[in-house]
A and B are shown apart, each in its own frame.
Chain A
């Protein structure tokens, strides 16, 4: 469903009065996310994971290569088509403290994508509130939380609100950019369980960005390793974890604290 083909991304340098050196965040990245599957993207900090996510979400333009969603090249969309595409691809951010508008109620935050895409979703204002309640219940919150503000919630609850917002426009692809790395360890497992449940219930396709190998092994069907903006290893989770081909993957796997993680990370919660 999502095909990333030979994507490169360079920051800076191209300006008329170039400010310093150009930074190459991604080079020749190729990745396929099949419909209904969960693909893990693993890499250390600064390896370009968020940059790739931003390109998929049309927040940044790729410098080279192309990204296809359902066969359409994302860089060739008209404004109108781009707008429509944004209902179909959604993101959950890493930092649940920064990703919610402090001056907006939960209801307004979660209803916003429905307002923006109201012509496609065909929901009236009242229907939107009902749908917000439905989404809140789906992520483990309740109607009583509708008119509260973000500061009244814990980190885990905020991430649930962020997930509800991401689901509001009924997306087909969900990009999860380290959705648990800013949370307390005890809360991480709850959010991961929620995400796997949602994926099973809604048949979502997900691009799961993480630096936690155990989590990726548990959640994802396929895995890709990103190192300095390049994909160094890609395959089914089984292949990659049992027979890594690249030195980088081998080194990472060797450094894993628990080489045979069943669902042991759930026990941490």
Chain B
């Protein structure tokens, strides 16, 4: 027992070392950083900003990739590179928003269920089971149909199907932690539920949640794009990867570049967040390595 915590600490240091040594984890981190940067300032660094507000250049429709238009131009003569850059913001930020909302709700519900147990736990977990039985895309489509299209509705719709995973994860972690001696010590000192959860239990169950969040952002970006693709997410002319892909569907195979680049952007984001998540798992939560 006496060696367990020093081991834990050097485990963290070894984790950092492994993370830095792992080319894939570092690549994931680097790509995620670049994507975030582009998400923040994409529209400003786009070479053809006027194309983002719907400018049409019929003379240069379907230009293949070249020095003037790296990713070519689309059916309206707009620069695909500019559109993909600008699309990063909506795609990535929606994905992050979905995970942020989903994890906040899930952590809260899971923490309450795990901490109180009994009937509260039973009730909340039945709700989780219920939501999990509904395929997330179908649920999102239903919500979008009910609330109407739009970015905020889309984020809410996806987040609605996203929280149960966090609730389950956090519930299990909280149940394991709530009987630890330091939690009992705080209870004996008179701490209330909020203090016990917020200061003692949740800080000690955060690692797997962070790992899951990182992995999930990639899938959330994919879901956002899927909804855009089937036309119930973001509507054109707002640039979003899934929407760009949906419009470009009619242009392939002849004008492949209008579809391949938004597709690659989606692929890159999903892949990078997964690499980062795997790296974080090694770093923060080595037990869960697969």
Q: Which residues of A contact B (CB under 8 A)?
A: 57-59, 83, 86-87, 89-91, 93, 95, 97-104, 112-113, 116-117, 150-151, 155, 162, 165, 168-169, 182, 184
Contacts and interface: CB of A to CB of B under 8 A. Distances in A.
A103 B203 contact: yes
B185 interface: yes
Nearest to A82: B190
A133 to B, nearest CB: 19
Contact of B9 (A117, A151, A155, A169): A151
A112 B200 CA distance: 11
Given A95-B181, A98-B180, A104-B199, A151 B189 contact: no
B204 A90 contact: no
A90 B181 contact: no
Given A91-B188, A95-B1, 5 more contacts: A57-B188, A102-B5, A104-B200, A113-B190, A169-B189
Nearest to A79: B192
A116 B191 contact: yes
A103 B201 CA distance: 10
Contacts of B187: 59
Contacts, number: 73
A116 B199 CA distance: 13
**From DSSP, what is the main secondary structure of chain B's interface residues?**
helix
B9 A83 contact: no
B190 A93 contact: no
A58 B100 CA distance: 38
Interface residues of B, number: 23
Contacts of A184: 2
Contact of B189 (A104, A113, A182): A113
A59 B184 contact: yes
B188 A90 contact: yes
Interface in B227-247: none
B6 interface: yes
A116 B194 CA distance: 12
Given A102-B204, A103-B203, A86 B1 contact: no
Contact of B191 (A91, A102, A112, A150): A112
Which 5 A-B pairs give the minimum distances between C-beta atoms? A86-B190, A99-B181, A98-B181, A113-B189, A101-B182
Contacts of B204: 101-103
Contacts of A102: 5, 8, 182, 204
A112 B6 contact: no
Interface of B: 1-2, 4-6, 8-9, 180-182, 184-191, 195, 199-200, 203-204
Contacts of A93: 181, 184-185
Chain B CB count within 10 A is highest, among A103, A150, A155, for A103
Contacts of A116: 189-191, 195
Given A97-B2, A116-B195, A151 B8 contact: yes
Nearest to B185: A99
Given A59-B184, A98-B181, A99-B181, A117 B5 contact: no
Given A113-B190, A117-B190, A97 B185 contact: no
B5 A150 contact: yes
A122 to B, nearest CB: 16
B190 A165 contact: no
13 contacts: A57-B188, A83-B190, A89-B188, A100-B182, A103-B204, A104-B199, A112-B186, A112-B199, A113-B189, A116-B195, A117-B190, A150-B5, A182-B2
Nearest to A58: B188
A249 to B, nearest CB: 30
Contacts of B191: 112, 116
B205 to A, nearest CB: 11
A204 B51 CA distance: 79
Contact of B188 (A59, A97, A155): A59
B181 A112 contact: no
A93 to B, nearest CB: 5
A41 to B, nearest CB: 17
B28 to A, nearest CB: 26
Nearest to A175: B188
Nearest to B7: A151
Given A102-B204, A151-B5, A155-B2, A87 B188 contact: no
B203 A97 contact: no
Contacts of A168: 189
Contacts of B186: 101, 112
Nearest to B3: A97
Contacts of B190: 83, 86-87, 113, 116-117, 169
A99 B6 CA distance: 15
Contact of A165 (B2, B189, B203): B189
